[in-house]
Amino acid sequence: MTTPLLVIVGFVAVSAVVGVVGRGRGAMDVERWSVGGRRFGVILVWLLMAGEIYTTFTFLGASGWAYSRGAPAFYILAYGTIGYIISFFLLPPVWRMAKRLGLHTQPDFFLARYDSQVLAGMVVLIGVISIVPYLQLQLAGLGMIVEIASAGAISSETAIIAAFAVTCVFVYTSGIKGIAWVAIIKDVAMLVAVGIIGIGLPAMYFGGVGEMFAELMRRHPAHLVFPGGTTTMGVGWVISTILLTGMGFYCWPHTFASAYSAKDARTLRRNAIFMPLYQLPILLVFLVGFTALLMMPGLENPDTALLELVTRSYPGWFAGFIGGAGAVTAMVPSAMLLLGAATLLAKNLYRPLRRRPIGEEHLMRATRGFMLLIAVAALLLALWSPNELVKLLIFGYDGVAQLFPAIMLGVFVPRATARPVIAGLVAGEAAVVSLIWSGHDPFLGLNAGFAGMVVTATVTLVAMAFLHGGTAPAAAEPQR
């Protein structure tokens, strides 16, 4: 076993132990497993939300895009900020509704607010289908890390399977609280790793960040303004992508439901204020990508740029540390995604479809069963259908962001009802899928998901104007 690999394995093992120990004592039920008993304060909520945001995508995808695309990658720095600003206003009323009605999942919210099993079922499917490419992204990144760290001794397939097994064990036994503790390890490791290489690599090769940029501007001046190294990602694409992904930020089932775990609504607002600062490490990751472009141009897979540059520039144990940090940043979000998706399928699709009522224990078993099912599905996809990391993330966002109009209407417009929302979702998702499949992404210079959201919002609003059927359920009444 090579030194880097040994370090990575140790890193992952320690994290898994912390995850299992961190669950705390006592019996596990769905409430505790999925929302931690709704008792988390500022720090744990912050960790959870950050845990979902810093993924292996941040490490590898962002540096890969800085390397290959240049300026369009800057959208990654901006969209989270837009997402937090929206969350400042959106999440407190969502939290209040969740608390009052005892909601656990995102479809619970739709069911309570719109009183429609059909809509809740659609939301489950949209969420789970969008999560699969996101999970696949984490797995592909994980495989890449271990493969490069072991200098090819371990194939990425073997790496993906092994690390994913560990992830499954720890989410299976510990639930959300165990994950929150591992998120601490992951965030500290990630911040240290990115801090060292983001400042260190430009300094090592060029004497500083400013000098590195001066060299980049001399050699590739077009790389640092839109559309960068691309022909299709001009300023229109960047704006529409920032808007789409910013609005989609809290539409993911797991990010939406992470708001439920806060102990009060004020916690959520304070989080929103400080979270933008947490975007800073992304800048450092860009710096690594740019340095890699200058030092080793022409890599076959841009997503490997960061790892290749690190293994070339540092001793083995440090490369191992970077790899370990990268592996944990893949595992924590994978665990969150799995937990989220499995809870949805069990609680919001499986349970309503059963004719007889089922008990808590049965539900818990079903949740764990679905978790393994989704894990295996994403595993198979990661092994057989590779794709560029940023692409995978944007695909997921394209689908899940279509929920945004329905969430906003649900929270702020009491007279919105289920049927217009369903019509909008069907039209919008159909538009997104057909644009992507027919190769029209970007569409007229805009992100295809954004074009889809224009369809979703328009159809929903027009349908609201023409369909007067039904009255809003009681949950829609403004809460004062």
Query: Which residues are near another protein by CB under 8 A?
Result: 71, 74, 77-78, 81-82, 84-85, 88-89, 92-93, 95-100, 208-211, 213-214, 217, 221, 224-226, 235, 238-239, 242-243, 264-266, 269-270, 272-274, 276-277, 279-280, 283, 286, 479-480
Q: Which of 329, 477, 326 is nearest to 412 (CA)?
A: 477
The nearer residue to another protein, 95 or 250, going by C-beta atoms, is 95
Phi, psi dihedral angles at 447 (to 5 degrees): -60, 130
The nearer residue to another protein, 75 or 318, going by C-beta atoms, is 75
The nearer residue to another protein, 77 or 191, going by C-beta atoms, is 77
How far is the C-alpha of 311 from the C-alpha of 434, rounded, in Å? 41
How far is the C-alpha of 158 from the C-alpha of 168, rounded, in Å? 16
Instruction: Decide if 406 contacts 429 (C-beta within 8 A).
Output: no
The nearer residue to another protein, 160 or 284, going by C-beta atoms, is 284
Q: Which of 105, 128, 25 is nearest to 337 (CA)?
A: 128
The nearer residue to another protein, 98 or 459, going by C-beta atoms, is 98
Work out how close the CB of 210 gets to another protein at its nearest, in angstroms, rounded to a whole number.
3
Work out how close the CB of 400 gets to another protein at its nearest, in angstroms, rounded to a whole number.
20
How far is the C-alpha of 224 from the C-alpha of 229, rounded, in Å? 9
CB atoms within 10 A of CB 408: 16
The nearer residue to another protein, 266 or 440, going by C-beta atoms, is 266
The nearer residue to another protein, 57 or 95, going by C-beta atoms, is 95
How far is the C-alpha of 467 from the C-alpha of 322, rounded, in Å? 56
Work out how close the CB of 454 gets to another protein at its nearest, in angstroms, rounded to a whole number.
15
How far is the C-alpha of 253 from the C-alpha of 214, rounded, in Å? 43
Work out how close the CB of 331 gets to another protein at its nearest, in angstroms, rounded to a whole number.
27
Work out how close the CB of 236 gets to another protein at its nearest, in angstroms, rounded to a whole number.
9
Write the CB contacts of 26 (distance below 8 Å, at least 6 apart in sequence).
32
How far is the C-alpha of 288 from the C-alpha of 296, rounded, in Å? 11
Phi, psi dihedral angles at 28 (to 5 degrees): -105, 125
**CA separation (Å) from 112 to 118, 127, 243, 420, 474?**
12, 17, 28, 16, 9
Q: Which of 241, 249, 232 is nearest to 452 (CA)?
A: 241
DSSP E strands in 290-432: the ranges are none
Work out how close the CB of 329 gets to another protein at its nearest, in angstroms, rounded to a whole number.
20
Work out how close the CB of 269 gets to another protein at its nearest, in angstroms, rounded to a whole number.
6
How far is the C-alpha of 302 from the C-alpha of 69, rounded, in Å? 9
The nearer residue to another protein, 95 or 314, going by C-beta atoms, is 95
Work out how close the CB of 199 gets to another protein at its nearest, in angstroms, rounded to a whole number.
12
Work out how close the CB of 441 gets to another protein at its nearest, in angstroms, rounded to a whole number.
20
- 166, amino acid identity: V
The nearer residue to another protein, 446 or 459, going by C-beta atoms, is 446
